[in-house]
Amino acid sequence: MPPVPHPLDDRLPALLRSGQRLHGIFNGIASPAIVEMCAYAGFDFLVIDNEHGSAGIETTEHLLRAARACQLPTLVRCLEQDIPRTLDIGAGGLQIPMVSTAAQAQSLVERVKYPLPAGAPGIAGRRGSAFSTRAAGYGAFGGPAHTRRSNEGIALVVMVETPEGVENAAAIAAVPGVDGVFVGPNDLAHAMGCENRWQEAPVQRAIEHTLRAVAAAGKCPGVLALGAEEEARYAGWGARYFATVSTAIITRALREAAQQGRASLSY
């Protein structure tokens, strides 16, 4: 009988360090079926969007189960107050919005990492320990081995979405324990007074500055890229993590199907 897979998928830090282009997808639809579809479609990883999506903590746990079953590495974008429970249900990585300073990034690292014994290698934090959770196999994988696997295998991506974050991008990326920095272009454009027009020159310059600063710090730069032209431009600025959005893809496909249906009825 093959061994039961560990509930905690610890592949994301290595993926983010790999140097290869990565294609992820934000999904705020609270459906395990969508998670499976994203895996079958061939995305490198999934981002469960609990900043803007509708999933509660129980549903998020089921989404993570679906992702683990189909071997899809998964980040969860969540608010800071949701970090402890999101980790305990088995998230293999977190993506935290609205990070504007290195001090804030350092605090997030500490909340993701467990404390370590004196002199032990690795980055120590202040995450509360509980081995009865799904992340620890409900006790089957608890103890020091779970602490080590979690500290080494849970990825932390922080999001730069303000002019202050852009200014501090290099310092944020330099924080040990930050694996990637993702530019949120929509929020950044709004914060810069451009509403949702992130293609405007000042916003693009801010995105370029951030991506180049993160790449120079040796961390994985990420950004929303909704087409090949955007991806090529951002890749030239150092980006390696490119994301799209499930609802945009689904809505576009449905609109095309609806228009095609109307066209077939015209005579």
The one-letter amino acid code at 14 reads A
Q: Could you list the pLDDT tens digit for every one of the 267 residues in the chain?
A: 667 789 999 999 999 999 999 999 999 999 999 999 999 999 999 999 999 999 999 999 999 999 999 999 999 999 999 999 999 999 999 999 999 999 999 999 999 999 999 989 999 999 999 999 999 999 999 999 999 999 999 999 999 999 999 999 999 999 999 999 999 999 999 999 999 999 999 999 999 999 999 999 999 999 999 999 999 999 999 999 999 999 999 999 999 999 986 766 655
Q: Which domain holds residue 106?
A: 12-261
For strands 220-224 and 241-245, give the pairing.
parallel
pLDDT recorded at residue 1: 65
Q: Is the pTM of this model over 0.75?
A: yes
Within-domain flag for 5:
no
pLDDT recorded at residue 262: 74
pLDDT recorded at residue 260: 85
Give 47's DSSP letter: E
Residues 6, 23, 52, 62: which is the catalytic one? 52
CATH code: domain of residue 196: 3.20.20.60
Q: How far is CA 235 from CA 21, 187, 230, in A?
A: 9, 21, 8
8 Å CB contact between 154 and 10:
yes
For the question of residue 52 being annotated catalytic, the response is: yes
Within-domain flag for 267:
no
Within-domain flag for 42:
yes
The one-letter amino acid code at 127 reads R
Within-domain flag for 31:
yes
Within-domain flag for 2:
no
Domain count, the chain: 1
Within-domain flag for 210:
yes
pLDDT recorded at residue 261: 67
Within-domain flag for 4:
no
The one-letter amino acid code at 195 reads E
pLDDT recorded at residue 5: 82
CA distance 182 to 157: 7
Q: How far is CA 71 from CA 65, 227, 258, in A?
A: 10, 26, 33
Task: Give the E-state strand segments of the chain in sequence order.
Answer: 22-27, 45-49, 74-77, 93-96, 155-160, 180-183, 220-224, 241-245
Within-domain flag for 254:
yes
For strands 220-224 and 180-183, give the pairing.
parallel
pLDDT recorded at residue 4: 79
Closest CA to 105 of 174, 53, 38: 174
